[in-house]
Structure 1
Amino acid sequence: MTPPDSPALTTVFVYGTLMPGERNEHVARQGGDFQARPATLSGYRLIDLRPEAYPGVVSGTDTDMVTGYALTYAPAEWPTVLSFLDALEGLHETPPLYRRAAVTVQVAGQDEPAWVYLYARADRLAQAGAQTVASGDWRTVSDRALPATGDR
């Protein structure tokens, strides 16, 4: 969480269907305009979930890295953005599909704080169809644009 005396954290690291050019970019845009910058998240692993056809990020090793974008919104738009993103990511489902966590991402060689949605259903990861994306880049998954259950 952001300390109360700090400016609001209005950047979210996206690594899958919310990235520019991907099938849920429109959800990221529902909250308002944002600045999209290429970014990486170290120490985490990208998982491709099938048949769901969407990714998840989980804790990894020091050598693991996920490629995506840092989306930065205007502070006034942030509450609206969160409502759309939290709904898409199943944050309030029981049990939650994803959980939002504060992390440090690398943007143009600099560390920056950001939120990220981490996959929260450990039981699903032990089942068939959950595979690590070795490249850490969702755009390397050839059939990623297939319609997903729940359109995540």
Structure 2
Amino acid sequence: MVPLLPVFVYGTLLPGERNAHIAAQGGEFTVRPATLRGFRLFDLRPEGYPGIVPGETGDLIHGALLTYAPADWERALALLDELEGVDETPPVYSREQVRLTLANGEEVTAWVYVFALLGRLRQPDAVLVPGGDWRGVAGR
């Protein structure tokens, strides 16, 4: 059985972003600001979506923690897995457990979608996002 954990989002699934409606289709959830340490955020063009990969200890990703009601959790995770291409061949993202820090300093365990097509990141239109905040990317 898959552990019932909140999901850390950092790009198009953030509230107010273009895929936020997909997160909402999973059911009711609470949103809390959170950061993920040790990962790097890339802006993938022309696709227009982000990807994170493991980085250095000082790297930081800014995002939000979505905590679904237990009754909605499996449906939400299935929708998010489908959007992120977890079951495609090859997978676009993999869902992994990570430790996050909330705004109040509390550390929590959550799921996050890590970009799996590493060769794509070697192309010139995969741009490292300084500061690790997707909301600051111009022209998306």
TM superposition score normalised by structure 1: 0.88
Identity, % of aligned pairs?
Answer: 55
Which segments of 5 or more consecutive residues in structure 2 lack a partner in the other structure?
A: none
Give the structure 1 partner of residue 77 of structure 2: 82
| Separation in 1, partners of 2:128, 2:4 | 29
Give the structure 2 partner of residue 138 of structure 1: 134
Render the CA deviation track for 1:60-91: whole Å, top value 9, x for unaligned.
10110000000000111111001110010011
Q: Which of 27, 31, 37 lines up with 1:36 in the alignment?
A: 31
Whether contact under 8 Å (1:10, 1:75) holds in the other structure is: no
The Cα shift of 1:142 comes to: 1.2
Render the CA deviation track for 1:128-149: whole Å, top value 9, x for unaligned.
21111011000000112xxxxx
Q: Which of 113, 122, 129 lines up with 1:117 in the alignment?
A: 113
| Separation in 2, partners of 1:62, 1:44 | 8
Structure 2 residue matching 1:125: 3-state secondary structure: helix
Give the structure 2 partner of residue 128 of structure 1: 124
CA RMSD of aligned residues (A): 1.2
The Cα shift of 1:9 comes to: 2.7
Residues paired across the two proteins, number = 139
Structure 1 residue matching 2:127: 3-state secondary structure: strand
| Separation in 2, partners of 1:55, 1:12 | 16
